[in-house]
Amino acid sequence: MKPVSIKYILVESFNNIVRNKVLFITSIFTVCVTILLMGVVGILLMNVSYNSDTMMEEMLNITVYVIPEADEKTLNDVQDVLINDPHVADIKYISQLEAYEASKELVGEEIMEELGHDFLPASFIVKLDDVTYANIFVRKMVAMSNIYEVKYSSEAYERAGSISYTIRYVCGILTGLLGVLSLFLISNTIKITVSTSKEEVTIMRYIGASEARIKAPFYLQGGFIGFLGAIISFIIAGFGYNYIYTRLEGSLSEYIGAMELVPVSQMLLVLLGVFMLYGIVLGILGSFFAIRKYLKA
């Protein structure tokens, strides 16, 4: 069998579009609105996630206190264990003297002098790269004989984990719902195109056109609707985000503490990729459902 002619598929897709141009424009518009809605939700969630990451970084410090009588070898052993842990992102060593100096400022020089400079244990401030690993890490450190105490805010960890989970959960549900809506709309458009091309399809089958040749223009049309919807949404969302970023950046921290927005370039890159992928996949999938139902061989 001769290969499917690209020219034929392109021409037929174009003809389908011209034949149903009002419907085509309506579909692009609806897909565009859906992707934009998803984009707005995505932009919000990305910013929340971006800031929660920053906040989590601040919160997720674990302090590992070594026994006060520890010698240099013991300290080196503990340091080795920390360095070799794959989830440890950063380590900061606080010597007994540094702890003593810091405490002097807090509780007063007289009291600290009475206690002596070797009263406080040396410690390591550890940052992990994975929130969910915290409990395992703490248990591992506590089990070591030369560790005096491990301090961390389990509540902060749990809260951070819960924020992260909620963001993913909400994002997943909204994206799913909007996706179903888009699928329905695209599928409906292709269904109408298929029904207006029914006679043509029947003749094609009688003449001996392969199923791939019959169906390809409809898939292309669906993909094209998704693609155009994604491009328009990207332009609108991109300009919109740039405008908001320019207006709010700098002044935002005055109202909401250390909150800052995801940089425009970073956001645009994510939006372009996600919108394109989402639009095209939705378009093709929408076509698939319509073709499967209304273009049975």
Partner 1 sequence: MIDFNNVSMIYKSGTEALHGVNFHIDPGEFVFITGKSGSGKSTIIKLLMREERQTSGDIFVNGYDLFNLSRYDLPHYRRRLGVVFQDCRLLMNKTVYQNIEFAMEIIGESNRTIKQVVPKLLHMVDLEGKEKSFPDELAGGEQARVALARAIANAPDILIADEPTGNLDPKTSVEIVDLLYKVNQLGTTVLVVTHDTRIVDRLQQRVIRLQGGKIASDTEGSIYENEACEY
22: contact with partner 1 by CB under 8 A = no
Residue 296 C-beta: closest distance to partner 1, Å: 11
Nearest CA-CA partner of 124 in 148, 154, 152, 95: 95
Nearer to partner 1, 86 or 208 (CB): 208
Name the residue nearer to partner 1 (CB basis): 204 or 252: 204
Identify residues 143-202 at the interface with partner 1 (CB under 8 A): 199-200, 202
Using rule CB under 8 A, residue 2 touches partner 1: yes
Torsion of CA 290, 292, 295, 296, to 10 degrees: -160
DSSP state string for 229-292: HHHHHHHHHHHHHHHHHHHHTTTHHHHSTT--PPPHHHHHHHHHHHHHHHHHHHHHHHHHHHHH
Half-sphere exposure of 251 (CA within 13 A, CB side): 5
Query: How do beta strands 123-128 and 88-94 pair?
Result: antiparallel
CA distances from residue 82 to 36, 96, 249, 285 in whole angstroms, order as listed: 45, 19, 38, 49
Site string for partner 1, 268-297 (x = CB under 8 A): -----------------------------x
In this complex, which beta carbon is closest to partner 1, that of residue 191 or of residue 213?
213
Amino acid identity, position 160: A
Among 6, 10, 19, 136, binds partner 1 (CB under 8 A): 19
Given 1, 22, 83, 143, the residue binding partner 1 (CB under 8 A): 1
Number of residues that bind partner 1 (CB under 8 A): 22
C-alpha 160/C-alpha 154 separation (Å) is 10
Pattern 193-212, binding to partner 1, x per CB under 8 A?
A: ------xx-xxxxxxxxxx-
Q: What number of H helices and E strands is found in the chain?
A: 11, 4
Binding mask 111-130 for partner 1 (x = CB under 8 A): --------------------
- Nearer to partner 1 by C-beta: 1 or 83? 1
Nearer to partner 1, 4 or 91 (CB): 4
Q: How near is the Cβ of 207 to partner 1 at its closest, in Å?
A: 5
Residue 206 phi/psi, 5° resolution? Answer: -65, -35
Rounded distance, CA 175 to CA 169, Å?
A: 10
Q: Which is nearer to partner 1, 12 or 279 (CB)?
A: 12
Of the pair 77, 200, the CB lying nearest partner 1 is at 200
Point out which residues bind partner 1 (CB under 8 A): 1-5, 8, 19, 199-200, 202-211, 213-214, 297
